[in-house]
Amino acid sequence: MLRPSLIAFIALLIGCTLTSFGILQYTLSAHIKGDYILLENDYLALEFPKDWLAFSWIDHNLAAGKSYSALFASPHIFSVMMFRVYDQAATQSYMQKNNLTDTLSVVIFEASRIYNWSLENNKNATLVFLENGTITVSDHTALYSSFLIRDGFKQDGKLYNLTCMFISYVSNQKLVQVVFWGKEDDCRQTRDIFNTVLSSTKVKI
């Protein structure tokens, strides 16, 4: 069962203006590759753990553009990864709406948004940037930022640290975002899984 905190985070990522949302159906044996399942559509292709929960949705409400998102969550611990691909019109709408100019401003904006969400759990939570750099995603050089939110997550009356790695790049005026997020210890357990999923990712648009 999904914990309320994870449901709240999924709601944060999905937003309230979507016109299309659905749970991925991934039971077809033809798509199973060992412990992973192949997800492939017009937007991206990647392999994700077959025992993880999977969601996908398309947002058409971005100034005549649209974005495609796929989210994967461990059913046992608080560890989430999400991939989002914007078309040109949606990229322009997102950047203009949030007064963003480049991938660095995108990373900073999204880090602040996640931090603000954590403040709802604990108003004394603190944001600490750990590392910035570049990483290869689908044969593109992307910018990433890793950060820690101390005491940013409350579970069973106790406060825990959150960690997040936010990745972004723009190619042909189309924005791609990847986020790996969760409770610090849980993300440490699933970091190799995230690396495997990321290395399998191919963005198509």
Q: Summarize pLDDT for 127-184 with one digit per residue, the tens.
A: 999 999 999 999 999 999 999 999 998 888 899 999 999 999 999 999 999 999 999 9
CATH code at 61? 3.40.1000
Res 194: pLDDT: 97
Res 26: pLDDT: 40
Res 65: pLDDT: 86
Q: How many alpha carbons lie under 13 Å from residue 170 in its C-beta half-sphere? A: 18
* Confidence check: pLDDT of 19 > 50: no
Per the structure, how many domains does the chain have? 1
Domain that holds residue 162: 4-175+184-203
Closest by CA to 83, choosing from 11, 196, 182, 178, is 178
DSSP 147-202: EEEEEEEEETTEEEEEEEEEEEEEETTEEEEEEEEEEHHHHHHHHHHHHHHHHH-E
Q: Summarize pLDDT for 29-71 with one digit per residue, the tens.
A: 447 778 899 888 889 999 999 889 888 888 876 567 889 999 9
d(CA 191, CA 184): 10
Q: Are β-strands 36-40 and 140-155 bridged in parallel, bridged antiparallel, or unpaired?
A: unpaired
